[in-house]
Chains A and B, each alone.
Chain A
């Protein structure tokens, strides 16, 4: 294990998220396509909330709104009781694709958030720390095309962690990894979350992944997305896939997603 004592946990406590009656949609060939309808949810500081739903239901759209990349058509988004008006490094997104800049080394990719704010000179050690945290310190000088898929996703995680985010927004971060790497990274995500105490909002397609990692699993309907259920997963970490409570929740979640009979 790498050192967890990066910073005392209480100094970077997570943010509180309050999503109030969000409506959102897109113009498509002249028609309006509603994507989110009256979505409200809250996450307490330090909570790990997973968003589960059918493919294309609008979960990622919600994440973009929370990140401040887009503004909702209606409703309010509050982080720590302050309206979200645009992106902010305290709310960092890890996308499904690592989207590392191919012209920058791993180190220079990870340092991006400090560079944008002109903090890089004084805080170089934070980049080294974050790379250490995801086990990439030896690859600091490598270029992205020299990394495996799992390593690239770790690098993008490091790029997020450098900013000491209070809300980590994960858009299917493990979606494109092979199953072994995925299992390993699930363990690492739990470890990082417990060590750093940030709030996590994670979109996933994987029911099991949601139940393994999150305190709460919010199940969405098909588009336009509405919240169908808010399951709380009250199990200690590390969790085991074959825990009876987890299996029961899995059945319930799959049922909500319309796959009950097959399982």
Chain B
């Protein structure tokens, strides 16, 4: 056998080495961060507040626990790789300690910034310690609404996209509709949707589904339409049925496009979610923002914004994970 052997490229070695390199340096910085956070605790607890605040003790306690924890992690990090991994975020922890210090001084301690627009760190903490039930409930309702709308929209958009890419007959009817109606922002349907649907929840679900479905349908369509005919030829000569061509050739080949569509759909679904909750739905983070603003409770608003940011970034991260899993074959083929 005359085999022209070539090893498959080995891609794993570089990253591991780089991670090991950082270790001693970050551990030193971890100690710095720990000391700084202990300093924050001392500042918060020892310096009397200029404003009347409830949660100064809690904030000090959090800073104390964090500082001590970081110092302990730095010690354990000498022996354990897992603890040393915290060292990667040490520069951020240092920066955050400095930022919180500055924030604490200009608000709670010296009262330099006007209230209620610039609440102190402890007022921020208070939002989570005192209003976590309402905030958690809002988060849950937002997530449920978003997931429901996104799932429906993704399913519908995907099916429409595949049908458009596959069948010229479907394309003839759907394409003009998509061209005209598709670019309309989903929020433009809001008044109509709240009028047509029996509940604001179902109206919002519809709008989120709409916002998701359009980009996904367009991207899936272009993905399916762009599949090389040679891929079909190969499968056809091997006896593939049309069903096989769609499910096992067209869809996997279009999947990178589908994921671009999913990311775009998720992004626009966030926008619709917030607007819908502000305008009609009586729960959720958008509603909470509106409610907090009505009471001039700016700390609550910032608190809700942070929760919303974390929710959105978590959902995006989950979608990235799903893509990494389904499109693992693209590794080394495409620069992400």
Residues of A in contact with B (beta carbons under 8 Å apart): 1-2, 67-69, 87-89, 91-93, 95, 97, 99, 101-104, 112-113, 115-117, 135, 139, 142-143, 145-148, 150-151, 159, 163, 180-181, 184, 187-188
Is B15 located at the chain interface by the 8 A CB criterion?
no
| 22 A–B contacts, CB within 8 A, in A order | A1-B1, A68-B237, A69-B237, A88-B237, A92-B237, A99-B234, A101-B249, A112-B235, A116-B240, A116-B241, A117-B239, A135-B3, A142-B8, A143-B332, A145-B329, A145-B332, A146-B8, A147-B6, A148-B6, A150-B4, A151-B6, A187-B2
Q: Which residues of B contact A89 (CB under 8 A)?
A: 237-239
Q: Give me the interface of B with A, judged by CB distance under 8 Å.
A: 1-4, 6, 8-9, 228, 230-231, 233-241, 244, 248-249, 252-253, 255, 327, 329-330, 332-333
Q: When the two chains form their complex, are residues A139 and B8 in contact, meaning their CB atoms are under 8 A apart?
A: yes
CA A101 – CA B248 in complex, angstroms? 10
Interface contact B244-A101, CB-CB below 8 Å: no
Residue numbers in A under 8 Å from B253 (CB-CB): 101, 103
Report whether A146 and B332 are in contact in the complex, using a CB–CB cutoff of 8 Å. Answer: yes
| A230 smallest CB distance to B (angstroms) | 26
A-B pairs, top 3 by smallest CB distance, nearest first, are A113-B238, A146-B8, A89-B239
- Residue of B228, B238, B329 near A159 (CB, 8 A) is B238
B233, B237, B241, B252: the one within 8 Å of A101 (CB): B252
Q: Report the separation of the CA atoms of residues A135 and B228 in the bound assembly, to the nearest whole angstrom.
A: 28
Q: Please name 13 further chain A to chain B contacts, defined as beta carbons within 8 Å, in addition to the given A87-B239, A95-B233, sorted by A numbering.
A: A87-B238, A93-B234, A93-B237, A99-B228, A99-B233, A101-B252, A101-B253, A113-B238, A115-B244, A117-B239, A148-B6, A151-B4, A151-B6
A188–B4 Cα gap in the complex (Å)? 12
Select the residue from A87, A93, A135 with max chain B CB neighbours within 10 A: A87
Contact A87-B231, Cβ < 8 Å, known A103-B252, A103-B255, A116-B244: no
| Contact (Cβ within 8 A) A116 B239 | yes
Q: Are A116 and B8 in contact (CB under 8 A)?
A: no
Please name all residues of chain A whose beta carbon is closer than 8 Å to the beta carbon of B4 when the two chains form the complex: 148, 150-151, 180-181, 184
Quick check: B238 and A116 within 8 Å, CB to CB?
A: yes
**Chain B: minimal CB distance from A63 (Å):** 10
A251 to chain B: closest CB distance in Å? 29
CB of B256 to closest CB in A, whole Å: 9
The smallest beta-carbon distance between A4 and chain B, in angstroms, is 11
Chain A residue contacts of B241, Cβ below 8 A: 116
Q: How far is A117 from B333 in the complex, measured between Cα atoms in Å?
A: 30
Which A residues are in CB contact (< 8 Å) with B234? Answer: 93, 95, 99, 112, 159
**A180 partner residues in chain B, CB cutoff 8 A:** 4
Q: Are A113 and B255 in contact (CB under 8 A)?
A: no
From residue A180, how far is it (CB to closest CB) to chain B in Å? 8
Q: Is the CB of A116 within 8 A of B235?
A: yes
Q: Most B CB atoms within 10 A — which of A1, A93, A101?
A: A101
> Nearest-CB distance from B246 to chain A (Å)?
13
Are A97 and B255 neighbours in the complex by a CB distance under 8 Å?
no
Contact across chains for B333 and A87 when beta carbons are under 8 A apart: no
A112 touches B238 (CB 8 A): yes
* Assembled-state Cα–Cα distance A184/B241 (Å): 35
Q: Which of B2, B9, B228 contacts A188 (CB 8 A)?
A: B2
Asked whether B235 lies within 8 Å of A97 as measured between CB atoms, the reply is: no
Residue ID in chain B nearest A1 by CB atoms: B1
Q: How far is the CA of A163 from the CA of B230 in the complex (A)?
A: 19
- Give chain B residues whose Cβ lies under 8 Å from the Cβ of A146: 8-9, 332
**Which residues does chain A contribute within 8 Å of B235, judged by CB atoms?**
112, 116
Kindly list chain A residues whose C-beta atoms are within 8 Å of the C-beta of B237. Answer: 67-69, 87-89, 91-93
Docked pose: A1 CA to B3 CA in angstroms: 10
The listed residue with most A CB atoms (<10 A of its CB), out of B230, B234, B236, B249, is B234
A115 touches B248 (CB 8 A): yes
- Give chain B nearest CB distance to A123 CB in angstroms: 14
> What's the nearest-Cβ distance from chain B to residue A196, in Å?
16
Residues of A contacting B240 in the complex (Cβ-Cβ under 8 angstroms): 112, 116
User: Complex formed: what's the CA distance from A54 to B8 in Å?
Assistant: 37
